[in-house]
Each structure stands twice: as C-alpha cells, then as structure tokens.
Amino acid sequence: MFHVLFISFKLLFERKRQSVVSVAGVSIGVAAFVVMSSLMLGFQKHFIKQVIDLDAHISVKPKGVYEEDRILRDYYKDSLFEVLGSKPKVVRENIRDYRGFIERFTGRYGILGVSPHLNGNAIVRYGNREVPVKLFGIEPELERAATSIQRYVEGNGLEKLKTNRRGIILGKLVARDLGIKEAGQKVLLVSSKGVSEVFEVLDFFNSNITTIDETRAYIHIKTMQKITENPDGVNELVVKLADVNRAVRVANIIERQTGYDAESWQEAYSNFLQLFKIQRIITFLVVGAILIVSAFGIFNILMMTVLEKKRDIAILKAIGYSHRDITLIFLIQGLLIGIAGSIAGSFGAYLMQEYLTNVELDLEGILRAKGFILDRSEVYYYISFMFALVMSLIASIYPAYRASKLNPVDIFRSGGV
C-alpha cells in the first residue's frame, strides 16, 4: 500500500500548479459552505429563538366564525342564493372561564405556564407626536411564567406594573418614535373605544425584533379591561411549553378539548419558516455548484495525468501492478486533493468567522443587531468536509477506471503515445 501512496503523491507533485488550483477550488467551496451556513442559519436560529421567547409557544383564541348567509339560509331553506357585499359583523369574543383553563392545563402536556391577555389597538401621544400601538393587557406575574418577557424589559418595569395600574411599558422603537429617552415620562393613551388615560412610562421593551419593538406596549390587564369597557375580558391565552417542538401536537389537544382556536408558533410564523427553508435550499445549491465546479477541476487534472502518463502506467502494469493498484493510485490522488482542500477551506472559514464576529455594524431590518449573527456550529465543518471528499472521489472514478483499463502492450506498440 505504501508504494501506491508514494506514486499518488509523486504524480500530484509533478503537476504542482494544477494540483494547487484544484485544492484551491475545493477550499473555496468548503469555506463558502461553512461561512454562508453560519451566517444564514445564525440569523434564522436567532430570529426563531427570539420569537419563541417573546410570543406564545401556543396562542389560544376564540374561534371567530361569521356566517354571512346564516339568516337567509334559515329563512329560505330550499333556495339557491349568493350574498354579495356583506359587511363583516363586529363581534367581541372573550375566553370564558380562563381561570379554569389555567388551572386545568398548567402542568399537563408539558405546559409550564399560561397567561391571560386582553389585546387591542391604541394610540400613544407624547407632546405633538403620536404612535399607533398594539396594546397588550397582561398579568405581570403570570406573564413571567408563560413568556420570557422579563429578559427583554430593560429595568424592573414588570415588578412596578404589578402595583402601578397607570403604568405602561413601551417598545423601544415606540419610545424612540415618540422622543422618549427615559422612564418616568407621562404619555396619553387613547383606546379604540375613545377612552383617554394618562400613563407613566415605567420601562422599555427591547427584543431587537423591529416589527415587535415598533408596535407593542404593555399595561396591566385590569386597566386594559377598564379602558376597553370589557370587564374581566380575556381574548387570548398564551401557553409556554417545556419542549417547543411539541407545540403543534399540544395545540391540537387544546383545540379538541376546549373548542377554542389554538395556534402553535410554527403556524403563526409559517411564512418566515417557509422563507428560511427557501434560503437554505438556495444556499446549498450555490455552494454545491462551487464544489461541483471544483470537482470538474479534479477530473480534468486526473484525466490529463492519465493521458500524459500512459507509458508510466504501462510500465507499472508490466512490472506487476494490478488493475486495483492503478485504480487506487488515481482515487487516492482525488482523495488527497479533497482532504487538502477541506483542511484549507475549514481554516479559511474559521478565519472568516473570526473576522465577521468582530465587525461592528448597525443592522436594522427584521432584526436589529450590532454585527453579524453567526451560528458557529461544528456540524457545518463536518458536512462540508464529507461533501468535498465525496465530490473529489466521484471526480476521480472515471480517470481511475480509464487508467486501470489501459493495455500495456498497446501502449508499447504505439511508442508510448
């Protein structure tokens, strides 16, 4: 076996320039795969983690079913008709006996906590500025058990909200748009019912998710019930699970047992999850194309070696080298190029990740960040390494086969050409 390795190395080093180009092609593909996967999946995982922490693993709401033809159907039972231009009926639905729901489900099916919400729209005014917000009425103590809101509130606003019924926690970007830079300021809150109340800004909510921080505000649920003229009303229950991957299954159980609409976080963010899936496919296609191109480089080098070294191959066969030995010589060359390219590419990817980690940028889009969000998992290195080796071996198969099938008698008769 040692002699086969020796010949493989010799043939590679005889064509140094071409070998370096092939190794560089593989290394670029490996580095691209690792860095692009780290960037893309880092963003996706961070976004999903933030969403799972902030919003409900499962959101339970009344089923809003409006049958526009119900009255006509009851009156004209055997007639055919079509309703056009029907104005949707305004229905205020609450979750009945939500306290019983909390007692019934907390601790079962992996449920860690349940918190009641009363949600609605409002306008927050500060001086001559006003910002529309989605207003959440919450019970601070139960909210801690059902979400990770405490992690994103900058101070101890949740604790203050327990006793201050005229307090409000503003999204960080809501406060920025209003021109509020510190807690303690007074704002005017106008509910959808037209009720106006003055609130004290207790704290700021900063999730780094732009669409959330620029639209949300939190007040105590009792105060929300008062300004929306909905005493003891709750229109949503948020559920936290020990295992977020069981959200769809538990949501189906809740729907069957209660009749309410239970939406898992996967359903709520299905559009984003589909977009992320498409991004992953595009990334793998692009990087796969790079590695395939590098495989063609390996194929080209080995084929040129076979054509140029016909006489040498014939001599090897004449002195006793078998078809298997000749095949191994060229397969090993492809494997060596793949290994060298994978090692160089992995090292290059590591250096690139180190550089990107230290780059300071003010990024504001779906997420706000001070730099690139990377997922520095070792799995990407393993996957790229194995894929590069497989492509290198595939590129080596046909040249190895051609070399093993050369007939030394024919080569010598033709003068070694």
* Residue 231 pLDDT: 85
Query: Has residue 32 got a pLDDT over 80?
Result: yes
pLDDT grade for 392, boundaries at 50, 70 and 90:
confident
d(CA 225, CA 104): 24
3-state SS class at 215: coil
What is the average per-residue pLDDT within 126-147? 88
Q: What three-state secondary structure class fits 137?
A: strand
**Contact of 367 with 209, CB cutoff 8 Å:** yes
Contact (CB, 8 A) for 118 and 234: yes
Examine the pLDDT at 368 and tell me if it is beyond 80.
no
pLDDT of residue 209: 79
Residue 105 burial (CB count, 10 A): 21
pLDDT of 410 higher than 70: no
**Are the C-beta atoms of 237 and 114 separated by less than 8 Å?**
yes
At 67, the pLDDT band (50, 70, 90 cuts) reads low
| pLDDT for residue 106 is more than 70 | yes
Q: What stretches of 319-417 show up as alpha helix (H) in DSSP?
A: 323-358, 379-404, 408-413
Confidence of residue 322 (pLDDT cuts 50, 70, 90): confident
Residue 226 identity (one-letter amino acid): K
Q: To which residue do tokens 């309410």 refer?
A: 260
Tell me the per-residue pLDDT of 193-242, one tens digit each, with 9 for 90 and over. 888 889 999 999 888 878 888 888 999 999 998 888 888 888 888 898 88
CA dihedral 242, 244, 249, 251 (to 10 degrees): 90
DSSP state of 371: S
List C-alpha distances in Å: 220 to 116, 131, 137, 144, 251.
11, 20, 5, 13, 27
Mean pLDDT of the chain: 80
* Res. 128 pLDDT band, cuts 50 70 90: confident
Which of 95-109, 193-207, 332-346, 396-410 has the lowest average pLDDT?
A: 396-410
User: Largest alpha-carbon pair distance within the chain?
Assistant: 103
Name the band, by pLDDT with cuts 50, 70 and 90, for residue 27: confident
- Cα–Cα distance, 293 to 288 (Å, whole number): 9
Q: For residues 57 and 239, is the Cβ–Cβ distance under 8 A? A: yes
Amino acid identity for residue 211 in this structure: T
pLDDT at residue 389 is higher than 80: yes
Secondary element (H or E) of residue 200 = strand 196-205
Q: Does the pLDDT at position 89 exceed 60?
A: no
Poorest-pLDDT segment among 105-109, 154-158, 186-190, 320-324:
320-324
The per-residue pLDDT for 83 is 58
The residues with which 263 forms a beta bridge, in sequence order, are 59
Of 263, 249, 242, 235, residue with least CA distance to 106 = 242
297-311, 331-345, 384-398: which has the minimum mean pLDDT? 297-311
Give the pLDDT score at 168.
92
pLDDT at 199: 92
Q: What is the mean pLDDT of residues 171-192?
A: 89
Tokens 């949600």 belong to residue: 119
Range of weakest confidence among 46-60, 224-238, 240-254, 327-341: 46-60
192 or 54: whose pLDDT is higher? 192
pLDDT band for position 70 (cuts 50, 70, 90): low
Question: What integer pLDDT is reported at residue 26 of this predicted model?
Answer: 85
Tell me how far CA of residue 187 lies from CA of 152, 160, 257, 384, in angstroms. 21, 17, 42, 55
Poorest-confidence range of 182-191, 344-353, 378-387, 390-399? Answer: 390-399
Two structure tokens written together for 298? 């390996």
Give the rounded percent of residues in the chain with a pLDDT score beyond 90. Answer: 11
Is the pLDDT score of 365 beyond 70? no
Least confident span in 314-323, 341-350, 352-361, 366-375: 366-375
- The SS3 of residue 31 is helix
**pLDDT interval class at 77 (50, 70, 90):** low
